[in-house]
Chain A
Amino acid sequence: AQSVAQPEDQVNVAEGNPLTVKCTYSVSGNPYLFWYVQYPNRGLQFLLKYITGDNLVKGSYGFEAEFNKSQTSFHLKKPSALVSDSALYFCAYSGYALNFGKGTSLLVTP
């Protein structure tokens, strides 16, 4: 069965430090991979996607993700975390519709 996995329920990072939210995939063929963010009491917002081409994808709010085929990973990264980045992050792959990982809660402390 195809899926994405987010191995960490929560990631804690201090403001100003780099952050990484992990995602691995098990998708046949060429995977279409996405990152979404969900802020409290707000809807799901699209951050970035990987379709093909450059393995480093840049997205909204200074986030980027690196597609690594050999490690079947698509980790979300940001060079310098902000307190306002604290939210729930979802990795997803596209089949007929989006299929989501379980989510990772990111907490950035001042």
Chain B
Amino acid sequence: SAVISQKPSRDICQRGTSLTIQCQVDSQVTMMFWYRQQPGQSLTLIATANQGSEATYESGFVIDKFPISRPNLTFSTLTVSNMSPEDSSIYLCSVGGREGTYNEQFFGPGTRLTVL
């Protein structure tokens, strides 16, 4: 398993500002994922953070709104840009246990974002 930490754990932000969320893993991993969990909803994949290349975004999510960095194999950031109240969600970082789609993913504790 992997131990994943996220910063900040929660934040309250003003409309129009941006917030960068950090994800740190205790071991080197190839694939890191960012999910969003809106209030009372399930988890939705935002993007896959690839080391050394551009992130891969899911339908409905764009780089201008959610820029992602992946400078090395243990760290990634997700920025929520030009925030609106609709961005109020829990944002979760996740990593794959091992290569292959049949292996479980491990999740960070999440960042609870409230936009006023």
- Show the binding face of A for B, using Cβ within 8 Å: 32, 34, 36, 42-46, 49, 51, 90, 94-103
Contacts and interface: CB of A to CB of B under 8 A. Distances in A.
Interface stretch (B13-21, B40-48, B60-68, B72-80): B40-48
A43 B44 CA distance: 15
A46 B106 contact: yes
Given A43-B92, A43-B109, A44-B92, A99 B104 contact: no
Interface of B: 4, 31, 33, 41-45, 48, 92, 94, 101-102, 104-110
B42 A102 contact: yes
A98 B31 CA distance: 12
Question: Which of B44, B102, B108: most chain A Cβ within 10 A?
Answer: B102
- Lowest 6 A-B CB distances belong to which pairs? A44-B107, A43-B109, A32-B102, A94-B101, A46-B104, A102-B42
Given A43-B107, A44-B92, A103 B42 contact: yes
If over half of B's interface residues share one DSSP class (helix, strand or loop), that class is named, otherwise mixed; here it is: strand
B109 A95 contact: no
Contacts of B101: 32, 94-96
Question: Which of B41, B44, B107: most chain A Cβ within 10 A?
Answer: B107
Contacts of B48: 96-97
Contacts of B42: 90, 100-103
Given A44-B92, A90-B43, A97 B105 contact: yes
A51 B109 contact: no
B19 to A, nearest CB: 19
Given A43-B108, A46-B105, A102-B42, 19 more contacts: A36-B107, A42-B109, A43-B110, A44-B43, A44-B92, A44-B94, A44-B107, A45-B107, A46-B106, A49-B104, A51-B102, A94-B101, A94-B102, A97-B105, A98-B45, A99-B45, A100-B44, A101-B42, A103-B42
